[in-house]
C-alpha cells in the first residue's frame, strides 16, 4: 500500500489533457480564421485604399510611356531578353496599370512572357513591371514559380485550415502560405530596385518614382500582415475550441 501511494504521489505522470476532437478542431479553425480575417480587415481595406490612391497618382494624363521610345530605352537597359513581348494594346477595358505576365510552356499550354504597357502609365510603374522580367525573371523555372505561387498558396491555406493540429498537412500548409508571402514581398522589392536602376541607366527621370514604388511595396506588406493574422487565427482557434465552448456555457 505504501509503495502504491508513493508511486501515485511522486512517480506517476500527471494526466495529459487530450486534444480536442477533429470536429472541434475544424470548428475552432473556422471560427479562428473568421475572427482573424475580421481583425485583419482594416489592413486589407487600407492596402486597397492606398493602392487605388497610388494608381490615380501614377496615371498622370501628361505622361505617356507607350510611345515605344521610352519603353525601348528601359528594355535595352534592364536585361529583359529579346523574346519579351511589349503589349501596347489594352487586353480589356479597365486595365489601366502596367503588369507583367510570366511565360510558361507545359504540354499543350503556352503563355508568352509579356508586359502590358497602357497609355499614360507612370514611368516608374512600367520600369517596375519590366523589373519582374529582368535578371532571374528570364528563367523558365522562375516564371513557373511566379505563375504557380498563388494557386499553391490557396492549397496551402486550405490544408492548414482542414488538417488536424500538429499534423504534416497543417505544418506544410502554413509553410507554403508563409513561403508564398515572403516570395511575393521579395519579388516586388526586387522588381522595384531593378526598375529604378533601369530608369537611371536609360536616363528617364520622373518625379516621385522612389516614393511611389515604396508606397506600392507598403500595400504588399499590409497584405502580408493580414495573411499572417488570418493564419494565426486558424492556428489558435484549432487549439482553443475548448475555451470557446467554456465561454458559450457562460452566455
Q: Is residue 95 part of a domain?
A: yes
pLDDT band at 158 (very low <50, low <70, confident <90, very high): very high
Output the nine-digit C-alpha cell for 53: 490612391
Model confidence, pTM: 0.80
Domain that holds residue 195: 22-243
pLDDT in tens, 2-12: 444 444 444 44
Q: Is residue 157 part of a domain?
A: yes
Q: Is residue 249 part of a domain?
A: no
What average pLDDT does the segment 18-39 reach? 82
Consecutive H or E run containing 232: helix 209-239
Distance CA 21, CA 198 (A): 56
If one compares 115 and 55, the residue with the highest pLDDT of the two is 115
Q: Is residue 215 part of a domain?
A: yes
The number of distinct structural domains making up the chain is 1
Asked if residues 30 and 161 have their Cβ atoms less than 8 Å apart, the reply is yes
pLDDT in tens, 60-90: 554 545 456 777 888 888 888 888 888 776 5
Q: Is residue 172 part of a domain?
A: yes
Q: Is 13 exposed, middle or buried (0-12, 13-18, 19+ CB in 10 A)?
A: exposed
Q: Is residue 56 part of a domain?
A: yes
Distance CA 229, CA 118 (A): 35
pLDDT in tens, 172-188: 999 999 999 999 999 99
Q: Is residue 250 part of a domain?
A: no
Q: Is residue 8 part of a domain?
A: no
Amino acid at each position: 500500500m505504501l509503495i502504491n501511494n508513493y508511486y501515485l504521489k511522486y512517480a506517476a505522470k500527471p494526466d495529459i489533457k487530450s486534444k480536442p476532437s477533429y470536429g472541434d478542431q475544424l470548428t475552432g479553425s473556422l471560427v479562428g480564421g473568421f475572427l482573424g480575417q475580421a481583425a485583419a480587415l482594416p489592413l486589407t481595406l487600407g492596402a486597397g485604399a492606398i493602392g487605388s490612391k497610388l494608381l490615380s497618382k501614377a496615371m498622370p494624363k501628361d505622361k505617356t510611356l507607350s510611345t515605344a521610345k521610352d519603353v525601348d530605352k528601359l528594355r535595352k537597359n534592364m536585361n529583359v531578353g529579346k523574346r519579351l513581348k511589349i503589349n501596347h494594346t489594352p487586353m480589356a477595358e479597365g486595365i489601366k496599370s502596367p503588369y507583367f505576365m510570366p511565360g510558361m510552356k507545359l504540354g499543350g499550354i503556352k503563355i508568352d512572357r509579356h508586359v502590358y504597357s497602357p497609355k499614360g502609365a507612370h514611368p516608374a510603374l512600367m520600369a517596375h513591371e519590366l523589373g519582374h522580367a529582368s535578371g532571374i525573371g528570364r528563367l523558365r523555372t522562375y516564371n513557373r514559380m511566379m505563375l504557380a505561387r498563388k494557386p499553391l498558396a490557396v492549397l496551402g491555406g486550405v490544408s492548414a485550415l482542414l488538417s488536424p493540429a500538429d499534423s504534416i498537412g497543417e505544418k506544410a500548409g502554413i509553410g507554403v502560405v508563409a513561403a508564398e508571402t515572403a516570395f511575393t514581398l521579395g519579388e516586388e522589392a526586387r522588381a522595384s530596385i531593378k526598375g529604378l536602376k533601369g530608369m537611371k541607366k536609360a536616363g528617364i527621370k520622373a518625379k516621385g518614382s522612389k516614393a511611389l514604388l515604396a508606397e506600392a511595396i507598403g500595400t504588399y506588406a499590409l497584405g502580408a500582415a493580414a495573411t499572417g493574422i488570418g493564419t494565426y487565427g486558424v492556428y489558435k482557434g484549432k487549439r482553443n475550441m475548448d475555451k470557446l465552448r467554456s465561454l458559450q456555457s457562460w452566455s
